[in-house]
Amino acid sequence: MSLIDLTGSEPTAATHKPYGKSAERRVDAYFSADVETDGPIPGPYSILSFAIVYAGSFDGVRFIRPRTYDRVFYKELRPISEKYQPEALKINGLNRDRLKHEGSSPQTAMQEAAEWIRSNARGANPVLVAYPLSFDWTWLYWYFVNFTSDGSPFDYSRCYDIKTALAVKARIPISEAGRSRLPPNLASTYSHTHHALDDAVEQAEIFANVFEWGGVNGGD
């Protein structure tokens, strides 16, 4: 079955049978993140901008999506090296020369981001969400560890890959679970612009759609 043919219910709140027993139920607070960079890996290259959007919570029984995606954090950063790939700048449209003078320092930006995440988690465990996760997690984790006093607010492994979740629920290979193949019931109403804030909001809605979706029926 192709992804385009997928159908499934979209309940307003997803419910799941709790796994195991716990004296105190933990709650996850999800944050959709998008980074725009000037190269493929952190260290030799730099984050030029990033955005983080509150994307919902889950207590093991009920997922609650926000009514609006207005709890947002956005920063443009000074580059940390002179290396860059011109093709990366063509995609995101950011001006490295301007950011050398006007961008926030990585230390300030990442410390403010970590504090904002912990504050907006409101006592829950922050979980980073991305589509795919590997790129954005790598950059943000490296920057949090290198430029903040307390390290990553997502610890070393609290993360959720929308692409993997879609592949599992849709019963398709990872290679077929790209964003461009999403059917209308899972796609976002927001545009993908390669501006970090726009893309983080779009991704937050896709995450909620996939999380709430019941998946394909067994055997279909």
Strands, E, within 133-204: which ranges?
A: 159-161
Q: Which amino acid is at 62?
A: R
What are the tens digits of pLDDT across the range 112-138? 999 999 999 999 999 999 999 999 999
DSSP H/E element including 92: helix 86-92
Query: Does 14 score more than 90 pLDDT?
Result: no
> How many Cβ atoms from other residues are within 10 Å of residue 101's Cβ?
7
Domains along the sequence of the chain with CATH: 27-212 (3.30.420.10)
Q: What is the value of pTM for the model shown?
A: 0.88
pLDDT of 187: 95
What's the rounded Cα separation, in Å, for the pair 56 and 87? 34
What's the rounded Cα separation, in Å, for the pair 121 and 124? 5
Predicted confidence band of residue 9 (pLDDT cuts 50, 70, 90): very low
Q: For residue 190, give the nearest of 79, 16, 70 by alpha carbon.
A: 70
Output DSSP code: residue 47. E
* Choice between 12 and 184, residue whose per-residue pLDDT is larger: 184
